[in-house]
Chains A and B, each alone.
Chain A
């Protein structure tokens, strides 16, 4: 295969970089940063200009959980009228969908590079003077944050850092988003795919920020679940494959509530998706990865949904070392316990009829 010639633009940029490194004189630096600032300003004008009320909100990290908390708290902080009018910038379309859950209509999906440029401009020119508000306590690629290492000190969790670090109110109250009613669509999907309502386990093995559990663990778990009479779905999008023996699903965030509550069970490695589904009423088993430290504490103490107050009914636990077979048994046991302690309405009615 023949190599394509390098475009002139890139040759010129490479040459300028070489000069920069060899001769970092005031003049060269001045020209370089003038060009850079020009680029950043152009982007800023496109993204944030023309707003009368001024403020543009930036989510500089694309983690689903980060965007969920930032949008949820922002919506609670500015109220429904300003939610509809505000501009929120996020990284990628997936993050944009999370922000839209809370009613934000003007959500701009930027690339990682564009977001970095917005942050550079804010760092240099000042966020206040540009009417930019950063929705992250310690933005990546910025020198403004110092809270990364403070995490978990004195029991400071993920939500505390967002509530106090961004909005300055550690007691701030917020509401989960309103999800759409898609129950007919869900019922149809269950019928088409022979899934059993109330006895279907949705597993979410794929994660972005944290570590993934080995695939063989999920295969073993699915096997056992099917033997016990459950039907199983894998929540996965893009290039990820569903676990063998499961139905692939990838509902939009606003459809998640109806889907998961109709299914009945959710088993996942801790990821941002767990924050999104935290308010749902069904069996939520969240597996926390051990040996991950956030400041002075571990994964579960920093991200626990129950500790944060996002819900109080999540079943959360950390597995030990590489004891994945024990982990599988634990999950099955917890699932069974939940089923026994939460009988279905029909079963309850039957019991009541019998007693009468």
Chain B
């Protein structure tokens, strides 16, 4: 949100992300949920048209061929650092210190919250899951 202020639209194939975005920020313009297949197609199109698409892919392993996840933990590099600096170019890097409060019982949202907490350290996530758009 520091990068895109109030005009960002989040496209995701993860329903947990769609449900939990509201707990992280109130500034986004909209959320579009797509299927995995549609996401693959969109990413292929993005690779073809690159900058003309006006899209930022927030992931360490997508689009196909991105291998930044291999740097996770190298010299203590965290996923938070990689996404902030590598994807959004938020330089200088400042760690997010705000605590996110969720008291509901939705498993998908809880998963995202837990994953978020894990990514703030350099330790790779144990289930090997990847970030999504």
Cα separation A166 to B67 with both chains bound (whole Å): 7
Given the contacts A124-B47, A153-B85, A296-B91, A146 and B66 also touching, CB distance less than 8 Å: yes
The total of chain A residues at the interface (CB under 8 A) is: 33
**Complex: A122 Cα to B63 Cα, angstroms:** 11
Q: Which of B71, B76, B89 contacts A161 (CB 8 A)?
A: B71
A91 at the interface (CB under 8 A from B): no
Task: Report whether B77 and A123 are in contact in the complex, using a CB–CB cutoff of 8 Å.
Answer: no
Taking the complex as formed, is B130 at the interface, i.e. its CB lies under 8 A from any CB of chain A?
no
Determine how close the nearest CB of chain A comes to the CB of B32; give it in whole angstroms: 20
Interface flags, A1-45, vs B, CB<8A=1, else 0 = 000000000000000000000000000000001000000000000
Instruction: Report A134 CB to chain B, min CB distance, Å.
Output: 7
The answer, yes or no, to whether B93 is at the interface (CB within 8 Å) is yes
For B70, what are the chain A residues with a Cβ–Cβ distance below 8 Å? 164-168
Within 8 A of A (CB), among B72-127: 74-77, 81-82, 85-87, 89, 91-93
Q: Does chain A have a CB within 8 A of B65?
A: yes
Q: Does B26 contact A (CB under 8 A)?
A: no
A320 in the interface (beta carbon within 8 A): no
**A160 to B67, Cβ gap below 8 A?**
no
Cross-chain contact A123 with B47 (CB below 8 angstroms)? yes
> Do A146 and B48 touch (CB < 8 A)?
no
Given A33-B48, A124-B47, A146-B86, verify A156-B74 contact (CB < 8 Å). yes
Write out the residue numbers on chain B whose beta carbons fall within 8 Å of the beta carbon of A150.
71, 77, 81-82, 85-86
| Interface residue? B133 (CB, 8 A) | no
Of A160, A166, A296, the residue contacting B92 (CB under 8 A) is: A296
Say yes or no for A127: interface residue by CB 8 A criterion.
Answer: yes
Stretch of A137-145, A179-187, A238-246, A327-335 on the interface side: A137-145
Q: Which of A86-138 contact B (CB under 8 A)?
A: 120, 122-124, 126-128, 134, 137
Report B51-79 residues with CB < 8 Å from chain A CB: 57, 60, 63-68, 70-71, 74-77
A116 to chain B, nearest CB (A): 12
Kindly provide the distance from the CB of B66 to the nearest chain A CB, expressed in whole angstroms.
Answer: 4
Contact status B68-A146, CB under 8 Å? yes
The answer to whether A193 has its CB under 8 Å from any CB of chain B is no
Q: Return A117 CB to nearest CB of chain B, in Å.
A: 13
Taking a contact as CB atoms under 8 Å apart, the answer to whether A144 and B67 are in contact is: yes
Question: Which residue of A143, A149, A153, A155 contacts B50 across the interface (Cβ within 8 Å)?
Answer: A143
Given contacts A146-B87, A153-B85, contact A165 B46 (CB under 8 A): no
Q: Is A211 an interface residue (CB 8 A)?
A: no
Task: Tell whether, in the assembled complex, residue B75 and residue A155 are in contact, meaning their CB atoms are under 8 Å apart.
Answer: yes
A171 to B, closest residue via Cβ: B74
A224 within 8 A of B: no
Q: Which A residue sits closest to B66, measured CB to CB? A: A144
Give chain B residues whose Cβ lies under 8 Å from the Cβ of A153: 75, 77, 81, 85, 93
B35 at the interface (CB under 8 A from A): no
Chain A residue at smallest Cβ distance from B55: A143
CA distance A108 to B93 in the complex (A): 41
Could you tell me if B71 and A164 are in contact, using CB atoms closer than 8 angstroms?
A: yes
A170-B64 CB under 8 A given contacts A123-B48, A295-B85: no
Which one of A33, A122, A167 contacts B65 once the chains associate, using CB atoms below 8 Å?
A122
Q: Is the CB of A147 within 8 A of B86?
A: yes
CA–CA, A296 and B85, complex, Å: 10
Of A120, A124, A143, A156, which is within 8 A of B77 by CB? A156
Write the residues of chain A forming the contact surface with B, with a CB cutoff of 8 angstroms: 33, 120, 122-124, 126-128, 134, 137, 142-150, 153-156, 160-161, 164-168, 170, 295-296
Not counting A146-B68, A154-B76, a sample of 16 additional A-B residue pairs whose C-beta atoms are within 8 angstroms of each other reads A120-B47, A123-B48, A126-B64, A128-B64, A143-B50, A144-B65, A145-B66, A146-B60, A146-B86, A147-B86, A148-B86, A150-B82, A153-B81, A153-B85, A161-B71, A296-B93
User: B residues engaging A (CB < 8 A)?
Assistant: 44, 46-48, 50, 57, 60, 63-68, 70-71, 74-77, 81-82, 85-87, 89, 91-93
Q: List 29 A-B contacts (CB under 8 A).
A: A122-B65, A123-B65, A124-B44, A124-B48, A126-B64, A126-B65, A128-B64, A137-B67, A137-B68, A142-B65, A143-B46, A143-B47, A143-B57, A143-B66, A144-B63, A145-B68, A146-B66, A146-B68, A146-B86, A147-B86, A148-B86, A149-B86, A150-B71, A150-B82, A150-B85, A156-B77, A160-B75, A164-B70, A166-B70
Top 8 A-B residue pairs of the complex, sorted by shortest distance between their CB atoms: A146-B86, A123-B47, A144-B65, A154-B75, A168-B70, A164-B74, A126-B64, A144-B66
